[in-house]
Structures are given as structure tokens and as C-alpha cells.
Structure 1
Amino acid sequence: MYKESTNVVVKHLINRLRDVHTSSNEFRLTIEEISRIMVSEALCNFPTVTQTVKTWQGSLDVQMLEVQKLVLVPILRAGEPMLTGILRTLPYAKSGFLAMKRDEETAESKLFYENIPNIEDKTVFLLDPMIATGGSLIDGIDYLKGKGAKRIISLNLVAAPEGIKNVQEAHPDVDIFVAQVDERLDENNYIRPGLGDAGDRAFNTND
């Protein structure tokens, strides 16, 4: 299943990211804000448990997310601002990290760093701003499944239809929540209109 956000605030923020005049700092902060909205949409039907909290009027039984059953895993480096934003909403969620690099000639990705906590019986949010061909996402999902994740939810900002199709064919059991589905991939496997290189723009490393 994949779901594209219909939230007009999300669309507004995506278009702010598209603007070449958006500074690196604003770019990161905007990614953080979109991610907070998107994770709220993705968790709207997530199971809750009863917990007792102490209020100003005494003890109260309330419904809370089982945050200890969630693990947030960004694909570095572009996914890092997504993690930062979500942790403001869910500060007690555990985090892991995957670092992958795309070969510009073959468009294939290679995993060169990982640090993942125990994810058995956990719901894992895989955070990756862009789905172009879907190669990095597929490789990331393969890795997390190998570690025993109970459920994987992909949280993404911008996607090409081709990339979504590839991910769904490889992993039909993974839910994809995306802020914006763009028009297409070009001949160089870049999303059109896209955002440019999200990592370079977020961390001001472009030449």
C-alpha cells in the first residue's frame, strides 16, 4: 500500500523545498516539519495501550502509543533531518542508521555503514526523502527484514511513480507514506521536477 498525503500544508512545504532560494538551514527545518506531519498521518491508526499518568487532578488512565515498539531508521545522510523532526514528536523512540551511496553510473546503491538496535517484533520507520528508482529503499528494506523487523513503513518526501512501482513489486507488504508523487524519472534517473540533491541542499555540500 502507498498513500500520498493530501495535506495542503505538506504540499506547501514541499514546494518551499523546491525553491532554489531556500537556504540550507531552512531546507533542513522544512524537512523536519514535513516529517513530523507525515509520521502523524502514518500513525493515525496505530494501536495504543492504556497507561496511567499523573495529572493536576490525580491519576488518569489514557491511551498512548507504544513508542518502545517503534524504531526510526534514516538512510543517511539526507534522512537525518527527517529523524530530527520525528524525534521532537516521539523523543523516546529508538533509532538506527543506514548509510548508502548511489553509483551515479549504474544508479545502484551500496550499504557502507549500519547501526541498528534490536528490531525484532518492532515497527520500523525507514526514512528516505527521495524515491527515485527505489534501489536504495529496496536494499534498506531487504536489510531490515533480515534483522527481523515485524513491520516496515517507508516515510518519504518526494517519489517518482517508477520508484514506487519498483518498491511495491519487490516488497508488497511494506506501506509507503509519501508527501508528493512527482511526474517521472528522467534519462539520468533523477526525479522530475524533484528537489535536487536533498543531502547536498540540506548540508550545504554542493559545489
Structure 2
Amino acid sequence: MYQESSNAVIKHLVNILRDTNTKPHEFRSYIEQIAKLLVCEAFNTHETFSKTITTWQGPLNTTFIDEKKLVFIPILRAGEPMLNGVFEIFKHAQSGFLAMKRDETTAKSHLFYEKLPDLKGKIVVLLDPMVATGGSLSDGIDVVKQHEPKEIITLNIIGSSHGVQRVNDLHSDIHMYIAQIDEKLNENNYICPGLGDAGDRAFNTL
């Protein structure tokens, strides 16, 4: 299942990312801000637990999201700034890392690094800003599923309609929260209009 954001603030930030005048340090910062907003959308109605805290007027029984069950996994390198953003909200969550490299000739992804904590019974959130063909994200989901998590969520910034639908078709059991869906891929399988190569723009390796 996928859900495109209707949040005007998120759309505003995405359009700043699209602008080629946005500098690398600004680009990283805006990715972090979008990730914070997306994670709030993803967990807006998520299950909570009750806990009594001490307020300035005494005890209060209230609700929290169990951060110890959350594992955020960026798909490197473009997903790294998103991790910084979600950690601003859920400071006690865990993280793991997957590194994928896209073959520019075939547009297929190859996993070359994996570092994951115990995911069994956890809520895993994959962070991948760009969903072009959907190959990297789908492969990342396949890796995570081998570790028997309770739930898989993805946070994405821009995807092509083709890539988003492909992930949804292959993994209809996951929840995908995406800031913007663009219609086309060009002949090189880049999203149009998109925002270019997110990793290169974030880390100034153009």
C-alpha cells in the first residue's frame, strides 16, 4: 500500500529540492526536514502504549510510541540524511544500513554492504529518497523480510509512478509513505522531472 502526501509544507520543501540552485548543505537539510514530516505521517495513527509520567501538576497516564521497537534503515548513500531527520523525532530507535549500487547500464541494483541489528518482531522503516524503477527499494525490502520483522514501512521523497507501482505490486504487505509521485522515467531510468541524483546532490559529488 502506498500513500502520497498531500501536505503543502512537504510539497514546498520538495520543490526547493528540485531547484538546481539549492546548495548541497541545504539539500541535505531539506531532506532531513521532509523525513521528519514523513515519519510523523507514517506514525500518526500507529499503535501506542500507556505510561504514567510525572508532570508539574502530578502523575499523568498518557500514551507513547515504543521507540525500542523501531529500526530505521537508510539505503546508502542517498538515504543517510533522512536518518538524521527521523532520529530528531525518535531519538531512542535503532538503525541499520544497506548499501546499494545501481548499474547504470542495466538500471539494476546490487547490494554490497549490510549491517543490521536483530529485526525479528520489530517495526522496520526503510529510508530511500528516490524510487525510480523501484529496484533498490524492492531489493532492500527482500533483505529485511528475511529477518522476520513485524512490519515494514518505507519513507520516500520522490518516485516515478512506475517504480512506486512496481514496489506495491511486489510487496503489497508493506506501507509506503512518499512525498511526491512524478509520472515519467527518462531513457536512462531517471525520474522526470525528479531532482537529479540525490546522493550526488547531497554530498556534492556531481
TM-score range (shorter-chain normalised) is: over 0.9
Equivalent position amino acid for 2:135 in 1: G
Q: Structure 2 matches for 1:124-163, cutoff 5 A?
A: 124-163=124-163
Equivalent position amino acid for 1:89 in 2: I
Q: Structure 2 matches for 1:163-178, cutoff 5 A?
A: 163-178=163-178
Q: Structure 2 matches for 1:51-90, cutoff 5 A?
A: 51-90=51-90
Equivalent position amino acid for 1:83 in 2: L
Q: Which runs of 4+ in 1 moved over 6 A?
A: none
1:50-97 deviation digits (Å, cap 9, x = unpaired): 012222122221100011111100001100000001101110011110
SS at structure 1 position matched to 2:133: coil
State the number of aligned residues.
Answer: 206
Deviation at 1:199, TM superposition (A): 0.4
Does 1:42 pair with 2:21?
A: no
Deviation at 1:137, TM superposition (A): 0.5
Does 1:92 pair with 2:106?
A: no
Q: Structure 2 matches for 1:10-29, cutoff 5 A?
A: 10-29=10-29
Q: Return 5+ residue gaps in structure 1 as ranges.
A: none
Equivalent position amino acid for 2:167 in 1: V
Q: Root-mean-square deviation (CA), in Å?
A: 0.7
TM-score (norm 2): 0.98
1:119-152 deviation digits (Å, cap 9, x = unpaired): 1111110000000000000100000000111111
SS at structure 1 position matched to 2:148: coil
Does 1:8 pair with 2:17?
A: no
TM-score (norm 1): 0.98
Identity among equivalent positions (%) equals: 55
2-structure distance, mates of 1:68, 1:41: 19
